[in-house]
Amino acid sequence: MIQAKITTIGNSLGLVLPKEVLAKLHAQKGDVLYLCEAPDGYTLTAYNTEFVNQMSMAEEIMHDDKDILKVLADS
């Protein structure tokens, strides 16, 4: 188990993540991380599930309508 400390940052609170956690997330200063609600609490990830879902839907639409999209691209 790894501890992370909540600290004051200006008028807000912030969570200080250890270097090994940042390395595992491939995260660095300025990156956006996501807290995803889970049955047992929250999961911290660098993975944006909403974006991935949107891209999955876009890929499905592009696959289903590839002939129409090709005609539009060629015109």
Min mean pLDDT across 17-21, 27-31, 49-53, 68-72 is at 49-53
**Span 5-74: which CATH code?**
2.10.260
What is the C-alpha separation between 38 and 54, in angstroms, rounded?
A: 20
Confidence tier at 68 by pLDDT (50, 70, 90) = confident
The answer on pLDDT for 5 being more than 90 is yes
pLDDT digits (tens, 9 = 90+) for 23-35: 999 999 999 898 8
pTM of the model: 0.56
Residues 45/26, Cβ–Cβ less than 8 Å? no
